[in-house]
């Protein structure tokens, strides 16, 4: 053990026991629900812990080239990538670190589709959807506010997904519980239910505050099993 007066300052200090406790909880929910839980670097990017995190979770998600590279190098796995915009000059390198890439619009997918299809390794492509429902109090953080450009509304999507699209991605929650998820799924299924049968995966984004005291994990597991 290390005495507090022996810890160099300034530095970051992590209580490994508490992180492992949270990871064990998430792993249990993952196993019993059949869902895959992936780490968002936006929320936790202490890469010295990535070897431990990898033992419990199913990967990590990135919103930039450097995050994807960090996942690839420090977790030694490929990233699930989503960004509202991609730079042409970075995209070839981004593909090297990615196994899933989600696009924010149909035009964005069309722009990069040929690069994806010409890549030596298969990358699973998805589209971010806007279910036009979110229980986020602050407008600045609400991706479903009127005029939002985050995600595609059903009206803009049509009845058949473009060739090459294998997944849908919805991210409308912000530190919420499983009951907000339940109410959100009502809108996702009403608007996009038929399109779910055209894809291999559905990414329900972040904002799931599963490690908060009082979170109803059994209710979350019930929602995922019903959805599947």
Q: What is the pLDDT of residues 73-110, one digit of tens each?
A: 999 999 999 999 999 999 999 999 999 999 999 999 99
Task: List the one residue out of 147, 196, 194 whose CA is nearest residue 169.
Answer: 196
- Straight-line distance from the first to the last Cα atom of the chain, in angstroms, rounded to the nearest whole number: 46
Neighbour count for residue 220 (Cβ, 10 Å): 21
β partners of residue 186: none
**DSSP reduced 3-state for 102:** strand
- Per-residue pLDDT, averaged over 17-38, amounts to 97
Task: List the one residue out of 149, 145, 126 whose CA is nearest residue 195.
Answer: 126
158 or 125, greater pLDDT? 125
What percent of the chain has a predicted confidence (pLDDT) above 70? 99
pLDDT score recorded for residue 2: 62
Contact 55, 66 (CB under 8 A): no
pLDDT tens for each residue of 166-215: 999 999 998 899 999 999 999 999 999 999 999 999 999 989 999 999 99
Structure-token match 């991605």, residue found: 169
Pairwise CA distance, residues 221 & 200, whole Å: 20
CA 64, 68, 69, 74 dihedral sign is: positive
5 or 72, greater pLDDT? 72
């Amino acid at each position: 053990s290390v005495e507090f007066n022996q810890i160099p300052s300034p530095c970051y200090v992590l209580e490994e026991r508490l992180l492992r406790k949270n990871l064990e909880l998430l792993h249990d929910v993952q196993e019993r629900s059949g869902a895959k839980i992936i780490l968002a670097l936006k929320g936790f990017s202490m890469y010295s812990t990535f070897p431990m995190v990898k033992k419990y979770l199913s990967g990590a998600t990135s919103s930039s080239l450097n995050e994807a590279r960090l996942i690839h190098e420090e977790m030694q796995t490929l990233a699930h990538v989503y960004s509202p915009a991609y730079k042409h000059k970075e995209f070839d390198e981004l593909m090297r670190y990615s196994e899933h890439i989600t696009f924010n619009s149909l035009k964005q997918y069309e722009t990069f589709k040929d690069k994806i299809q010409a890549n030596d390794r298969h990358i699973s492509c998805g589209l971010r959807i806007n279910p036009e429902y979110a229980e986020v109090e602050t407008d600045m953080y609400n991706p479903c506010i009127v005029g939002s450009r985050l995600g595609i509304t059903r009206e803009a999507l049509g009845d058949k997904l473009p060739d090459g699209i294998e997944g849908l991605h919805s991210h409308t929650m912000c530190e919420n519980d499983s009951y907000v998820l339940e109410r959100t799924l009502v809108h996702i299924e009403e608007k996009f239910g038929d399109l779910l049968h055209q894809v291999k995966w559905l990414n329900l984004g972040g904002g799931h505050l599963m490690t908060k005291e009082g979170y109803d994990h059994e209710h979350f597991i019930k929602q995922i099993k019903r959805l599947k």
